[in-house]
C-alpha cells in the first residue's frame, strides 16, 4: 500500500537573522574602511609638515644650506630674487634682486662667508653674506650662460658648468682649469665629499661624465636612455653616487664599475627633479614632478615614506639640514616648506594609541587584505594613483611581450640579436 502524502501540513517559514558580523556581506568593506581610518589617525598624529614660508613672488628654483649655521638657508627663484631664511625665527631675514633672470644655482664656500650664484643672464656673482647690498665680484660670460655650480668641500675652489666644465679659484675669481667632453651642455655638477678631486656631472646628451681634476682629460662617460637632473653622493660609501633621471627612476652607480647599476628605485610616477642624501643615516629623499616627496633606503629597494600636500606643486629642489632632522623643499608654487624627518612618537598619546593598536590588530588578523596597499594607495593624490595603475599595466605588458618574443624566436637568434 502506498502512503498518502499529507497535503494539509502547513509550510513553516523561518526568518533567520545574521547576528554574527563575520558572516555579513559588508564585512570586507567594514574592515577596509577601518584600516583606512587607522592610517588617517596615524598621519594626523605624525604630521611631518612643520611650517610653510611664503614670500617668493615666483617659483623656487634652487635651495642651499649654510655649512656652519644649521638654521640658515638660501633660496633662489625664477624672477632672479635670493632670500635668506632662518628656521629658528621662522621668517625671511634678507631678500634682494640678485639677477635679471632665473637663478640656476646657489653655492656657499666651506667656511660659510661667501655666497655664489649663477643665472641665465650670463653672470656669475660672489656675495658677502654679512654685506649683500652689492656683489663683491661679478663675472659676465658673453658667449654661454652658467647652468650650474658646486663648491669645493675643503678649499676656496668651485666648479661651474655650461658648455664646458671650469674649475675656479675663489680668491682670484678666475678659471684655473678647463675640461670638455663633447658639445653637450652640463646640467648638474657634484664634488665627491671624501675625495674632492673627483667630480661627477650630468649632460644634456643623456650621459654622465666622471672627472679627475688631477688629470687633463675626463676619466669615464656613462650613457643612459634619458637625461639626468640631479646627483648625490652616498655619505656612508663614498664610491657610490645616485642620480635622478627623467624616466622617473633612481639609479645608483659605483666608481669602481660605473657601467652597471647597483640599485634602481622605481616608485615615482613622473620625472625626478632633485635628490639629496641624509648624513646621519642611509636615506635618500627625492622630489618629483608628480608633486610628491619620497624617502628611500639606500641599502634596499624600499620606499620608506611619501610627503605631499594639496597646494604643493612639482618639487624643484630640496635639502636636508646639517643635523639631518629637518628637510627643506621648494616648489613651483613659491613656498618653502619645512618637514620633520624624525616622526613624532605616537606613544606619547596613550589613550589614542590603545585604540590604534586595537584597530591595527583587528585588521592584521585578516590575511586577504594587504596593509601596505591601503596605507600608501588610498592617501595619495588621484593623479598619482591613476599613473601608478598605468605604470603597472605598461610594465606587465612589456614583460609579457618580451616572453612571447623569446618563445617564438628561432634557435640561435637571441645570441646574435640582443634587441628583439
At residue 420, the pLDDT reads 43
Confidence of residue 8 (pLDDT cuts 50, 70, 90): low
Burial 280-308 (b: 16+ CB within 10 A, else e): eeebbbbbbbbbbbbbbebeeeebebbbb
Q: Three cell numbers at 232?
A: 648625490
User: What are 21-48's pLDDT values in tens digits?
Assistant: 555 555 566 666 666 676 666 666 667 8
State the Cα angle at 56 between 250 and 66, rounded to 5°.
60
* Cα(296)–Cα(303) distance, integer angstroms: 5
Confidence of residue 188 (pLDDT cuts 50, 70, 90): very high
Report which listed range, 250-254, 307-311, 344-348, 416-420, is most confident.
250-254
Distance of CA 219 to the CA centre of its chain: 28
Query: Beta strands 283-288 and 293-297: pairing type?
Result: antiparallel
**What is the set of domains in the chain, with CATH numbers?**
50-347 (2.130.10.10)
Q: Three cell numbers at 227?
A: 637625461
User: What are 194-222's pLDDT values in tens digits?
Assistant: 999 999 999 999 999 999 998 888 889 99
Under a CB-based contact definition with an 8 Å cutoff, are residues 269 and 242 in contact?
no
* Cα(203)–Cα(188) distance, integer angstroms: 7
Confidence of residue 152 (pLDDT cuts 50, 70, 90): very high
* Cα(30)–Cα(64) distance, integer angstroms: 47
Average pLDDT over residues 213-237: 90
Confidence of residue 306 (pLDDT cuts 50, 70, 90): confident
User: What are 314-373's pLDDT values in tens digits?
Assistant: 999 999 998 888 999 999 998 999 998 864 444 344 444 444 554 555 445 444 444 444
Helices 350-364/27-45 angle, 10° precision: 140
* Cα(276)–Cα(230) distance, integer angstroms: 9
Q: Starting at the edge strand that comes first in sequence, how are the strands of the sheet with 228-233 ordered?
A: 228-233, 240-245, 250-254, 257-265
Average pLDDT over residues 121-141: 87
Predicted TM-score of the model (pTM): 0.79
DSSP symbols for 165-179: EEEEETTTTEEEEEE
Under a CB-based contact definition with an 8 Å cutoff, are residues 158 and 170 in contact?
yes
Amino acid at each position: 500500500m502506498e502512503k498518502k502524502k499529507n497535503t494539509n501540513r502547513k509550510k513553516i517559514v523561518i526568518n533567520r537573522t545574521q547576528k554574527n558580523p563575520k558572516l555579513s556581506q559588508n564585512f570586507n568593506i567594514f574592515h577596509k574602511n577601518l584600516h583606512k581610518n587607522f592610517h588617517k589617525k596615524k598621519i594626523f598624529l605624525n604630521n611631518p609638515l612643520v611650517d610653510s614660508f611664503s614670500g617668493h613672488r615666483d617659483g623656487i628654483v634652487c635651495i642651499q644650506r649654510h655649512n656652519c649655521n644649521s638654521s640658515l638657508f638660501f633660496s633662489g627663484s625664477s624672477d632672479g630674487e635670493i632670500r635668506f631664511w632662518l628656521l629658528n625665527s621662522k621668517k625671511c631675514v634678507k631678500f634682494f634682486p640678485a639677477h635679471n633672470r632665473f637663478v640656476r644655482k646657489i653655492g656657499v664656500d666651506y667656511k660659510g662667508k661667501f655666497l655664489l650664484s649663477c643665472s641665465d643672464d650670463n653672470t656669475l656673482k660672489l656675495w658677502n653674506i654679512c654685506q649683500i647690498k652689492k656683489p663683491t665680484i661679478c663675472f659676465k660670460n658673453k658667449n654661454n650662460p652658467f647652468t650650474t655650480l658646486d663648491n669645493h668641500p675643503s678649499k676656496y675652489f668651485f666648479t661651474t658648468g655650461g658648455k664646458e666644465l671650469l674649475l675656479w679659484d675663489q680668491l682670484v675669481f678666475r678659471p684655473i682649469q678647463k675640461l670638455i667632453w663633447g658639445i653637450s651642455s652640463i646640467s648638474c655638477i657634484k664634488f665627491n665629499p671624501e675625495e674632492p678631486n673627483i667630480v661627477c656631472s650630468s649632460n644634456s646628451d643623456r650621459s654622465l661624465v666622471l672627472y679627475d681634476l688631477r688629470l687633463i682629460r675626463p676619466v669615464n662617460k656613462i650613457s643612459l636612455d634619458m637625461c639626468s637632473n640631479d646627483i648625490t653622493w652616498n655619505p656612508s660609501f663614498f664610491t657610490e653616487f645616485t642620480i635622478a633621471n627623467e624616466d622617473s627612476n633612481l639609479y645608483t652607480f659605483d666608481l669602481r664599475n660605473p657601467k652597471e647599476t647597483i640599485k634602481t628605485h622605481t616608485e615615482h610616477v613622473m620625472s625626478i627633479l632633485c635628490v639629496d642624501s641624509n648624513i646621519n643615516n642611509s636615506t635618500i629623499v627625492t622630489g618629483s614632478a608628480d608633486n610628491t616627496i619620497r624617502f628611500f633606503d639606500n641599502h634596499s629597494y624600499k620606499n620608506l615614506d611619501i610627503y605631499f600636500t594639496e597646494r604643493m606643486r612639482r618639487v624643484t629642489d630640496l635639502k636636508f639640514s646639517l643635523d639631518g632632522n629637518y628637510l627643506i623643499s621648494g616648489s613651483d608654487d613659491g613656498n618653502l616648506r619645512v618637514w620633520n624627518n624624525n616622526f613624532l612618537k605616537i606613544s606619547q598619546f596613550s589613550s589614542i594609541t590603545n585604540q590604534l593598536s586595537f584597530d591595527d590588530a583587528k585588521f592584521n588578523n585578516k590575511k586577504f587584505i594587504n596593509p601596505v596597499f591601503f596605507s600608501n594607495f588610498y592617501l595619495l593624490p588621484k593623479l598619482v594613483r591613476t599613473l601608478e595603475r598605468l605604470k603597472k599595466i605598461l610594465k606587465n605588458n612589456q614583460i609579457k611581450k618580451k616572453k612571447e618574443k623569446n618563445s617564438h624566436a628561432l634557435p640561435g637568434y637571441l645570441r646574435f640579436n640582443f634587441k628583439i
